[in-house]
Structure formats: structure tokens, C-alpha cells
Structure 1
């Protein structure tokens, strides 16, 4: 048995949709290729996934005109398979799922470089069910609803509200069917859980670390760098504590 309680033969594939251009960053290249602590954001993301012992393969969905990934050292890692991304996230993930051989799949945002193995463990502990599970963080701020003109029309109770994070964990065949059905209906699919919900499933919410942020705007880049440094400090302290007699 592995340390996380999964059998040695358990194989898990991670799907990473990375065909977007990240226009809100206002950068000259897609946001996943921006530099962060000596690597691109995408490199951090992929290395975090590959560091987990349950993940044997990553299927990476890239834009047709992507000229950046080939320049990275990770482009030669045999554990990373490349597929053509689609016109939106759902189609990119579906294209990737056609190449997935494992029974279970994790879908993770390319621009979430601060994922920890502990959060993957927490997701696996409860998500290997027909309905699957996703990582999330509880909403902590007061939530307001406005009209189209920006006028506040209601204060929304936050007790049952979550920020949806990734990875999101589902049975491969079930997720594939849910995405195909949702796309055929022309439904708005904002993440994999929304496709599963439309298909009648009830995914579990697993509380993850709030520092598992998605780099979307320029200010997020500095914040992600801070979180990476803090996580390195945490690991160093943990290691030093274990080594003490």
C-alpha cells in the first residue's frame, strides 16, 4: 500500500487544460507561461501534480498555436501527453479525456501553481465515488448581489457558499459522458463539477487550502510567489522537526 492508503497498482491521470490565452493578465504570452519563482506558472503546476505518487500521467491540452511549451524541459517528460485544446475549457478537457486510460481523473487548472500533495490526499480520501468531489475554500467575506447597474439588491448568507477550486476528481467515463451531454445541450459549463451537476450527480465539496489560488490578474502573480515561499518554509520546518532526536 502507498502512504495515502491507495493500492500500489492504483493509477491516476491528471488533465490540465492549458489552451487559454489569459487576456486579463495583459501579457505578451498566455498567463501559464509567465515567470514565477524561476519557473513558468505551468511548470510549477505540472511539477506539483507529478510529485504526487498516485498520479502516473498528465494529459495537457494546448492551443493549436502554442509555441511555448516545447521550449520547456518538461516537454520531454514521458509522463506528460499533449493533446489539442478546444475552443473552451469543456472541449479541451473532453479532448484530453479521450486519451485517459485510468478509471479516475483529476482535472486541475494550469494557472494554480500552489497545489499541495496534502490537498490531493484529502480529495482522494472522499472523492472515489460515483459522484466525485472537488476542492473548495469557504467564502469568508460578506457576499452581495447587485443588479446590472451595480446597485446592491441583497446580502447573501455565506454559510453554505464556497469558492470552487481544482483539482476536481471524477470517474473518467462518468465525467466524459457528463461533458458530452452538457455540450450537446448547449449548457454553460464553467467547471467539471457543473457538468456533473447537470447530469444529476452530487459531487462532494472537500475543504482545501485557501492558498491554492488561480493566477488570473497581475496582482495574483506576486501573491502566488509569496504562497510558494511560505509553503517551502512549512516543508523546511516539518523536515527539521522530523529530524530532531
Structure 2
């Protein structure tokens, strides 16, 4: 098979209107995913395959400048040709352009499928050793209902016999060219090239596709494509808790939730003794199994003497981000007889949100008393309890 010439036709002549509600936006094949245009990714998938000898792109008549702006350069990349009024006509235009070089095999690929893997391409090429055509498929997992009027169920299909077709679809060049020429003379629209081959009596094999070999059709497909590029890892939820307590000493203010609050005492401690932020910090450390504040900022180290506690909180948030995670929500409860906490809650939420780069709506700050009981009831100090919910990549 390595000695055979293999050409690829990338069908990119559509306007992608279903994926672009904004008619002034670029057609979907020229829009970026992960900072790279969809069409560039699709072409690149085939130029990087060692068995492909040439790639021809079929574009819309109005898209010549857009295609040139992609800046693609490769000896195997042929000048683009203009497509027809529909996909079937565009494929035929590509086949006609390839006819002078008459490759042994041709792979026909949708421009809006940028994730054709080397394995899927290999599967199609290998099947052409014994078959006239081949297409990658994915088994249908949903239950499929048939309806005659679109309102009532007529029957349930046997999904064990149903498969979703993908691209690239591969064929022996002369056979599929002849089939397309014949199909162009009749009044019938075929849904894909494999259907034309089937209609022409060619033997078409199904090979393994891949669930990530998606076609970008609707606006939400761009979000899915971005997730695929990011790894689309399965996330899991983690919960961490934190607890901190500091005693009072003579002073005129306390730091709570990053806010300086005038009061008749101050809190005793190595840093600014912000029990609320300390509890939140430990909750985040706990959620990723990263110890506590004392591990990262030991009180024996004098550089942290009097340090502002948002520094600690930011460090914990950075560790969550480095683990590929995100903060879902934070909840802290402050237990004290004084000072009054409620007037300062909005400012606390704002400081925590700014420190961690999350929305204030993900943060809850509450306060209560201990009904004059215990050391907090005797106004000897303040307690804070916190919980943190995060999402991180699942570890099996």
C-alpha cells in the first residue's frame, strides 16, 4: 500500500451557516479552535500522514482570500479549486481536478472534521486493499425511533445494525470518479460519497472510527472541539475543609476575610492572623491533598511574619490551577461575639474573588456567635471553619 499514490480531497466549499448564527462571522472552516483555524487543522491532519501524496482543497468561490490567509505551505498541498452549489458537486470538482494525476486512491474528507486521527486514516487506507471503498463509523448508542409524521412513533430501530458515518471516506480513484460522474447525470442528492459508491455497486467496507472524530455543525460544537483540544479529561469533584482559631490580644483592629475591621482587640499570630482566609486556604490545600498553611508557610520562617493572608490564599488557588482544576465554591463561617461581620461580607467576598480569580457568586461568608459559650463566648478569640469544592482531572 505504501507504493500507491493517495490523494486527499478536503471539501471546504460550504458557508457553514448552521454553525454561524452571525452571518458576518467567518465560515466555520475558517474559525479558530485552540487558536488555529478549523480548515488548517483538517489539512494538517493529512499532510502529517506519511502515506498521503497530495492534498487538494475545494473552496467556495468567495473564499480565495480566506484560504490564502491560512498561510499553508507544503509541496503536497495543491492549489485549491472552486466547488459547486452543493457538497456532491464540490467533490466532483475535486475529482476532476485530480484526474490528470490519476492517483491510485482518494480520501474524501469534510473540512469541518478537524480531528481525523492517524489511526482512523490508517484504517481506511488498509481496507482499500480488499474493498472498493471504506468509511469510518461509530456505533449508534442512542435508541432510534422512526416516525412517519414527526409526531408519533411508528417503530423502534434495531440499533445493533445502525452506525454513524464519518470521514475520511476512501475509494479507488477511477471507480469513485466514474460513480460521481454517473451520479451527476441523475436528479438525486446523495448524503455522502459512500452512498454514491453503494448506488454504483461498489463494495464499501466499514472500519473503526472514533468518537472524537466530530463534525463541527452547530455553534455548541466549537465548545466541544475546544474541550477535545484541552484533553477533554473526565473531571471529579473534591471537597476540602479548613479550621483556624486565633486568640485576642491588645490592639485596635482585626483582619478577617482580607478586610481590616476596627475593633477593641487584635488577633494574635505570626502573620496577620486572618482566621477566615487561613481556614479557606487550608480547605483548598485539603481538596488537592497538599497539606496545610504550616507546610507551605512555616511560622518558624520569619519572612512570613506579619504577612497578609491573601498571599496564602492565592498560593492555594494557584496549586489548584496547576493541578488542572477549578474552584466550584467556597464557604466560610466565622464564629465570634464581635466584631460585627455582616457589614463587611460584600468586601470580603470581593477580596476573596479577586485573589482567586473567581466570581463572588461562588463564595459564601457567614457569621454566628457561640451564644456566650466557650472561649469565643468569653471574647477570648475567633474561630473560622471553611469548606472548598473543586473540580480536578480524575485520578484512577
In the superposition, the TM-score normalised over structure 1's length comes to 0.87
User: Which residue of 2 is the match for residue 70 of structure 1?
Assistant: 68
Structure 1 CA distance for aligned equivalents of residues 161 and 81 of structure 2 = 37
How many angstroms apart in 1 are the aligned matches of 2:114 and 2:140?
A: 21
Report the secondary structure of 2:159's partner residue.
coil
Quote the residue 1:243 is aligned against. Answer: none
Query: 1:94 aligns to what?
Result: 92
Aligned with 1:79: secondary structure? Answer: coil
Q: d(CA) in 2 for partners of 1:15 and 1:23? A: 22
1:13 aligns with 2:33: no
Match of 1:107 in 2: 108
Q: Answer whether contact 1:128 1:170 (CA < 8 A) is retained.
A: no
Per the alignment, residue 121 of structure 1 pairs with 122
Deviation at 1:147, TM superposition (A): 2.7
| Greater displacement, 164-173 / 219-228 | 219-228
* Alpha carbons 2:57, 2:81 under 8 Å: kept: yes
Equivalent residue, structure 1, for 2:306: none
The separation in 2 between residues aligned to 1:43 and 1:231, in whole angstroms, is 21
Contact 1:97 1:176 in 2 (8 A): yes
- Detail structure 1 runs of 4+ shifted over 4 Å in the superposition: none
Larger Rg: 2
**What do the CA deviations read for 1:24-65 (whole angstroms, capped 9, x no partner)?**
112422110111001011111111111100112111111111
CA contact 2:4–2:105 (8 Å) conserved in 1: no
- On the 8 A contact 1:128/1:169 being kept in 2, the answer is no
The verdict on how the C-alpha distance between 1:149 and 1:134 changes in structure 2, with shifts beyond 3 A counting, is closer
> How much does 1:191 deviate?
0.8
**Where does the alignment leave 5 or more consecutive residues of structure 1 unmatched?**
1-5, 233-245
Q: Does structure 1 residue 53 correspond to structure 2 residue 50?
A: yes
Q: CA RMSD in A?
A: 1.6
SS of 2:175 mapped into structure 1: helix
- Between 1 and 2, higher relative CO (CA 8 Å, sep ≥ 6) is seen in 1
Contact 1:13 1:58 in 2 (8 A): yes
8 Å Cα contact 2:88/2:189 also seen in 1 = no
Q: What's the CA shift for 1:228?
A: 2.6
Task: Single out whichever of 213-222 and 117-126 deviates more from structure 2.
Answer: 117-126
Which structure 2 residues correspond to residues 76-87 of structure 1 after superposition, within 5 A? 76-81=73-78, 82-87=80-85
- Cα distance per residue 1:163-182 (max 9 Å; x no partner): 01000000111111111111
How big is the shift at 1:125?
1.6
Secondary structure (helix, strand or coil) at the match of 1:58 reads strand
Give the SS at the match of 1:170.
strand
**Ranges in structure 2 where 5+ consecutive residues have no aligned partner:** 234-396
